[in-house]
């Protein structure tokens, strides 16, 4: 069967073998990669919507290229973290690094989406959601996110 699929050529066998290795490496972290991809794409769409509302010029080259580069860099970090996990920790501690990086990336993208929504629709629940996330984040990391400037200049206002 392998010879039939590979065309009974050396190059075909190498391609199938490399494909199998790649799939076996990526399949455990596929959900992490998809999560980063989805939040980055949604953030891009809301960024475009905000730019249109503010009358800014929107170029597909800047938006798509920048987003794809960002996704490439996010995926690179996740895959390298997974490689470190696999080589150093083995199966003992799964997804500590790659999962942690995914959480940070995803929360950053979600925060950006909330900021965009708050600017697009200031009367929406976005300000409340942002305050809730800041409060929970401060409790979790034991840092005053507003005081230390970690959450950015467009943070929900304290009313």
Domain assignment present for residue 18? The answer is no
> Model-level pTM?
0.72
Domain assignment present for residue 19? The answer is no
Number of domains in the chain: 1
How far is it, in rounded angstroms, from Cα 15 to Cα 3?
Answer: 12
Residues of the domain holding 37? 29-120
Domain assignment present for residue 11? The answer is no
The mean pLDDT of the chain is 81
pLDDT of residue 1: 65
Torsion sign, CA atoms 85, 89, 94, 100: negative
Domain assignment present for residue 126? The answer is no
Domain assignment present for residue 147? The answer is no
Domain assignment present for residue 115? The answer is yes
Domain assignment present for residue 131? The answer is no
- Quick one: which of 62, 45, 41 has its CA closest to 53? 45
Using the predicted structure, report yes or no on whether residue 37 has a pLDDT greater than 90: yes
How far is it, in rounded angstroms, from Cα 64 to Cα 35?
Answer: 18
């Amino acid at each position: 069967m392998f010879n039939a699929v590979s065309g009974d050529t050396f190059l075909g066998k190498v391609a199938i073998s490399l494909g199998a290795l790649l799939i076996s490496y990526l399949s455990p972290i596929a959900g992490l990669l998809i999560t980063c991809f989805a939040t980055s794409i949604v953030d891009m769409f809301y960024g475009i919507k905000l730019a249109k509302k503010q009358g800014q010029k929107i170029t597909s080259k800047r938006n798509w290229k920048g987003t794809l580069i960002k996704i490439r860099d996010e995926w690179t970090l996740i895959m390298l973290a997974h490689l470190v996990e696999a080589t150093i920790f083995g199966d003992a501690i799964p997804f500590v690094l790659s999962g942690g990086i995914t959480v940070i990336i995803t929360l950053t993208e979600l925060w950006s989406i909330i900021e965009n929504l708050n600017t697009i629709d200031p009367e929406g629940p976005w300000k409340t959601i942002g305050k809730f996330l800041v409060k929970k984040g401060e409790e979790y990391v034991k840092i005053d996110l507003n005081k230390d400037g970690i959450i950015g200049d467009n943070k929900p206002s304290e009313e």
